[in-house]
Structure 1
Amino acid sequence: MAKTAKTDRQAVIEQMRKKQKSAERRRGTVIVVVCVLVALAIVGIAAVPIIKDKLDERELSNTALADLGSAASACEKITTKKAEGNQEHVPVGTEVDYPDSPPAFGKHWNEAGVAPAPFARKFYTTEDRPEIEALVHNLEHGYTILWYDETIADDDDALADVQAIAEKFDGDSLRDKFIAAPWQKSDDDEGTFPEGQHVALTHWSAGGVGETDTTKQVGVWQYCSAPSGEAVEDFVKKYPYFDSPEPDAM
């Protein structure tokens, strides 16, 4: 009888051990599952804005230029001013004092790989924008430049509109001479935009398509309170790349 009782106790103990191990396995499985779910939730939360940005980009890329951003009514009337500086090159690194904010003409740098800025780039941020003296050379070659200030740079939606506008010119034709670039804090010495205006379109006009008399050249400006694809479309139609001092240069 004593032997039987001992055997029974061992069986009970063994059964308890099995139950304990089973419970520990279940607890371990629950912990693993919870950790996986938490990790997936964290990844999902992080992925949401990325996915949203991609969807927004796709939506903007499928939107016509004239439908991007605000209506053209967000912009002031176009103004012009007699231009100078045609073919007036200064050494790279030389700081040019431009009287207008932003410039539409003037002396500029001229060095391969530096100035003018490359044709393939249509959009710049505050981290990678070329110097003003390089971009003025682009103006001489017929580019339209959309300059945006810090108000736009700090507004994700407005900046997305600027980038989407720039991407509409992402081609290999001369008619795609367009650049969007920030007017930065470091440019404050050159001046600021008119009050309430945060975008400026500039172009260096020859004074008419095919005009060769340099005394007829003018700088062209249009200021806007917000990015407007409609205004850009109207602006580049009125002042195409071939209305410039050097339309055939890239």
Structure 2
Amino acid sequence: MGAAAFQPIKNWWDGREFDNLALDKIGAPASVCQDIEEKKADGNQDHVPEGTAVTYTTAPPAFGAHWNVAGIAPDPMGRKVYTADDRPPLEALVHNLEHGYTILWYDETIADDDAAMTTIRGIAEKFAGTSNFRFKFKAVPWLPTDEDGASFPDGQHVAFTHWSAGGAGETDVEKQQGVFQYCSDVSGAALETFMDEYPYLDSPEPNAG
């Protein structure tokens, strides 16, 4: 069996340790994360042609103009974890954010740490499936080439982002906020709190997949 074929089996085997753990028990404690930040959002329903590069003002993005292509942008809900080999373009993922996803972004430090990546996969398993919109979650790498090399704050290797409508059911676009939290390590406890505070319903288009 080749290495590529073996990898999914290894990932499954390594991730079994998280099967019986609650999300908040996976990874580091929430104290590894900084305070949540909010920034005024723009780009609601601002669709640009597929292939158009959008310059985002934050690393990583939580809002902005984005592509709108069936099956591509937003990225379908089924797959939860990506690596540098196949991550969707930022312009596709930002459309996911508009639909209420929380995205966990990880940098090269985490990508190069097998234990940290196993933890991320264990977290992602808690969001498996496509029928429950509460599971709108993706874990993706922040690449050195993204936004001309823009990086997370010093010492921070993980970020959560969400596009808030300003509260569930809010329709005033002026109240939309981009929400960010940076962490030095992978924390299921912090992610759970973040997603409880900013659920998928608190987004510009929560009923879209």
**Range of TM-score over shorter length:** over 0.9
**Of 82, 87, 90, the match for 2:48:** 90
Identity rate of aligned residues, in percent?
62
SS for the counterpart of 1:127 is: coil
Which residue of the partner structure matches residue 175 of structure 2? 216
Q: Which residue of 1 aligns with 2:204?
A: 245
1:64 shift after superposition: 1.2
1:133 matched residue in structure 2:
91
Matched, 1:168 2:126: yes
SS of aligned partner of 1:192: coil
Q: Is the 8 A contact 1:203 1:219 kept in 2?
A: yes
Change beyond 3 A, Cα 1:71–1:244? same
Query: Structure 2: how far apart are the matches of 1:244 and 1:76?
Result: 22
2:195 aligned partner? 236
Structure 1 residues 194-230: Cα deviation after superposition (integer angstroms, max 9, x where no partner) = 0000000000000011100000000000000000000
Paired AA for residue 206 in structure 2: P
Greater RCO structure (CA 8 Å; 6+ sep): 2
How far 1:113 sits from its partner (Å)? Answer: 1.6
Q: 1:211 to 1:63 in 2, by over 3 A?
A: same
| Partner-residue secondary structure (3-state), 2:160 | strand
After TM superposition, give the deviation of residue 50 of structure 1 in Å.
9.7
Using structure 2 for the length normalisation, give the TM-score: 0.93
Larger radius of gyration between Structure 1 and Structure 2: 1
SS at match of 1:201: strand
Change (3 A) 1:99 1:53: closer
State which drifts further: 51-60 or 164-173. 51-60
Matched residue, 1:118: 76
Question: Which position in structure 2 is the counterpart of 1:195?
Answer: 154
Q: Output the CA distance in 2 between the equivalents of 1:212 and 1:150.
A: 37
Q: How far, CA to CA, are the matches of 1:148 and 1:227 in structure 2?
A: 9
Do structure 1's residue 206 and structure 2's residue 165 form an aligned pair? yes
Q: Can you give the 5+ residue segments of structure 1 that lack an aligned partner in the other structure?
A: 1-48
Partner secondary structure for residue 152 of structure 2: coil
**Counterpart mapping for 1:64-75 below 5 A:** 64-75=22-33
Cα distance between partner residues in 2 of 1:182 and 1:53: 17
* Gap runs ≥5 in structure 2: 1-6
- TM-superposed deviation, 1:61: 2.2
Q: What is the match of residue 149 of structure 1?
A: 107
In the alignment, does 2:66 pair up with 1:108? yes
- Give the letter for the 1:120 counterpart: G
Q: Deviations over 1:74-125 (max 9, x none)?
A: 0000000000000000000000000100000000000112100011011111
Report the count of equivalent residues.
Answer: 203
Residue of structure 2 equivalent to 1:45: none
CA distance in structure 2 between the aligned counterparts of 1:152 and 1:53, rounded to whole angstroms: 16
> Quick one: distance in 2 between partners of 1:94 and 1:166?
29
Match of 1:26 in 2: none
Structural RMSD (CA): 1.8
SS in 2 for 1:116: coil
Native 8 Å contact 1:99 1:190 kept in 2: no
Cα distance in 1 for partners of 2:163, 2:9 equals 40
Deviation at 1:62, TM superposition (A): 2.1
Q: Distance in 2 between matches of 1:97 and 1:50?
A: 34
